[in-house]
Amino acid sequence: MLTNAWLDERRRPWRRERSTDDVPDRAEAEHSAELLADREHLLDLLSQLPPRRRAVIVLRFWCDLSVEETARVLDISTGTVKSQAARGLESLRLLATLDPAGIRAGNGEDA
């Protein structure tokens, strides 16, 4: 329950929105479509991981929490966070190489 509450707080819109003085160029919008496709592909790969590995990967690398913070949120030891993160990243690499769609950066193609 604590994990869900924390994740809900991170998803709040005002945490994502950033005001800027400059309007983005149209070329950046085209590039963002490619990034969106990569993000959707990554989310698909994440959905194939076991729940605890997925939670560790998301908290460590998506939400940028430290090992200690991740351990506290998930109520597990720091060693478990480290091993689950290593195994999760290994699984994601394997899934990305097996998936024909592939993530641009992960399959050796130049952007």
Could you list the mean pLDDT of each consecutive 10-residue stretch along the chain, which spans 111 residues?
Answer: 70 62 62 74 88 92 92 94 94 82 46 33
Give 93-97's long-range contacts (Cβ < 8 A, gap of 24+).
95/45, 95/48, 96/45
CA distance 60 to 109: 27
Of 110, 84, 92, 108, whose CA–CA distance to 41 is shortest? 92
Q: Would you say the C-alpha torsion 77, 39, 102, 4 has a positive or negative sign?
A: positive
Written as one letter, the residue type at 78 is: T
Of 87, 71, 91, whose CA–CA distance to 79 is shortest? 71
Rounded to two decimals, the pTM is: 0.59
